[in-house]
Amino acid sequence: MKKMLKIVCALLLAVWLIPMEGVQAASFKDVSKDNTLITEIDYLVEKGIINGYPNNLFKPNTYVTRAQVAVMLTRALGLQTTNVKDPKYQDVPTTHPYYKEIAAVQNTGIFDSAQKFNPNAPLSRGDMAIVLQRAFKLKGSETSYFTDVSAKTRGYKEISAISSNNITRGYDDGSFKPNLPLTRAHFSAFLARALTLSNPNLLKDKAYDYTYSHYSLKDKKHYTLKYKYSHYDDKNDVWAISDLNSNKVFNSELLFSDGDVFGQGVARDYDLFYDLAFELPLRIGVIQHEDDGGIISGVRLTVKATDGTVRAGGIDYNNVIVLEEKSVNSDGVSTYYFVDGIGLVKELYNDVVVYELLERTAK
pLDDT tens-digit profile of 218-273? 999 999 999 999 999 999 999 999 999 987 889 999 999 999 999 999 988 766 67
Say yes or no to pLDDT of 350 above 90.
yes
Element (H, E) at 325: strand 315-327
pLDDT of residue 294: 72
Say yes or no to pLDDT of 9 above 50.
no
Q: Which of 20-29, 140-149, 202-211, 349-358 shows the lowest mean pLDDT across its residues?
A: 20-29
pLDDT of residue 25: 52
pLDDT of residue 306: 98
pLDDT of residue 33: 87
Q: What percent of the chain has pLDDT over 90?
A: 81
Using alpha carbons, select from 302, 341, 298 the residue that is nearest to residue 322: 302
Instruction: Give the DSSP per-residue string, 57-101.
Output: B--TTSBPBHHHHHHHHHHHHT---SSPPP---TT--TTSTTHHH
Contact 208, 360 (CB under 8 A): yes
pLDDT of residue 264: 96
Question: What are φ and ψ of residue 265, in 5° steps?
Answer: -155, -175
Which of left, alpha, beta for 55 (phi over 0: left; psi -120 to 50: alpha)? left
For residues 241 and 180, give the distance between their C-alpha atoms in angstroms, rounded to a whole number.
52
For residues 26 and 58, give the distance between their C-alpha atoms in angstroms, rounded to a whole number.
10
In the sheet that holds 276-279, the strands lie side by side as: 276-279, 261-266, 253-257, 237-243, 222-232, 208-215, 352-362, 343-349, 333-339, 315-327, 299-312, 285-288
pLDDT of residue 15: 39
Summarised one tens digit per residue, pLDDT across range 12-41 is 444 344 433 344 555 799 999 889 999 999
**Eight-state DSSP code of residue 115:** S
pLDDT of residue 270: 67
For residues 301 and 306, give the distance between their C-alpha atoms in angstroms, rounded to a whole number.
14
For residues 14 and 103, give the distance between their C-alpha atoms in angstroms, rounded to a whole number.
17
Summarised one tens digit per residue, pLDDT across range 162-197 is 999 999 999 989 999 999 999 999 999 999 999 999
Contact 349, 339 (CB under 8 A): no
Contact 97, 156 (CB under 8 A): no
Contacts of 273 (CB under 8 A, 6+ apart): 265, 295, 296
Average pLDDT of the chain is: 91
What's the mean pLDDT in 135-160?
Answer: 92
**Eight-state DSSP code of residue 124:** B
Say yes or no to pLDDT of 96 above 70.
yes
pLDDT of residue 26: 57
Q: How far is CA 282 from CA 30, 194, 202, 278, 338, in A?
A: 27, 10, 11, 9, 12
pLDDT of residue 23: 46
pLDDT of residue 271: 65
Summarised one tens digit per residue, pLDDT across range 261-312 is 999 999 887 666 789 999 999 999 999 998 887 766 789 999 999 999 999 9
